[in-house]
Amino acid sequence: IVENRQLFLNLDKMQQFLMKYTHVPCDQPIDFIYGTGNEIPNSLHQKFLNQYEHLYLCFDLDLGGLKIAKNLSQLLPTTNMTFVQPYDIQQRLAQVVQSCSVEELEKLAQFALSAPAFIQPYVQLMCNTQRRLEQESFLI
């Protein structure tokens, strides 16, 4: 599931990025689903999404992206999910100039208390680095 329209409209580049920088199995048939923001975890999509054994969630590494992942895991509790981020996420975050606001970090700390296990490492990464990353940077 790709959250970002720019990435979805550039699927060739996105697939190249996924093959080079992630564990997403692009060497087998793969469906790309456009999941604009928090609309994808809507119960109207539940039956459709339930047909997949595993969902790879290509969302921003920010509080919004983490919330969407949590909402999807609540909608589809028996579906395996991976929160997709590049192998070099720490180096990419180190290049981000603007840090998260104190308010955002407080919200993130509160969110961490109920975040599913599969996104906990990314919650901690954001807390530790005090940085967020938008998906658009994957195409650069």
pLDDT at residue 140, as a whole number: 61
pLDDT at residue 50, as a whole number: 95
* pLDDT tens figures, 34-91: 988 788 998 999 999 999 999 999 999 999 999 999 999 999 999 999 999 999 999 9
pLDDT at residue 134, as a whole number: 86
6 has pLDDT over 90: no
137 has pLDDT over 90: no
Burial (Cβ within 10 Å: 0-12, 13-18, ≥19) of residue 32: middle
4 has pLDDT over 90: no
pLDDT at residue 109, as a whole number: 94
* pLDDT tens figures, 114-129: 999 999 999 999 999 9
- Is the CB of residue 16 less than 8 Å from the CB of residue 4? no
**pTM listed for this prediction:** 0.92
Percentage of the chain with pLDDT > 70? 99
